[in-house]
Amino acid sequence: MGWLIFLIIVAVVVAGVFWAKKHFRHEIDRAKRINRANKNQ
């Protein structure tokens, strides 16, 4: 039973990471660009 719960938690976390990457990619790219611009100054 413990293994089943563990696998469900892992599946939810992996799905959450993929969902976040899909939805927040533009925000992450923008943050990276801003950080690079700040470092270059």
Question: Residue 40: pLDDT band by 50, 70, 90 thresholds?
Answer: confident
Q: Whole-structure pTM over 0.75, yes or no? A: no
The three-state secondary structure class of 19 is: helix
- pLDDT of 28 reads 83
Paired tokens of 9? 């938690």
Break the chain into its structural domains and give their ranges: 1-41
Q: Write out pLDDT tens, residues 8-35.
A: 999 999 999 998 888 888 888 898 899 9
Question: Residue 2: pLDDT band by 50, 70, 90 thresholds?
Answer: very high
Statement: residue 41 has pLDDT above 80? no
R_g (Cα) of the chain, nearest Å? 17
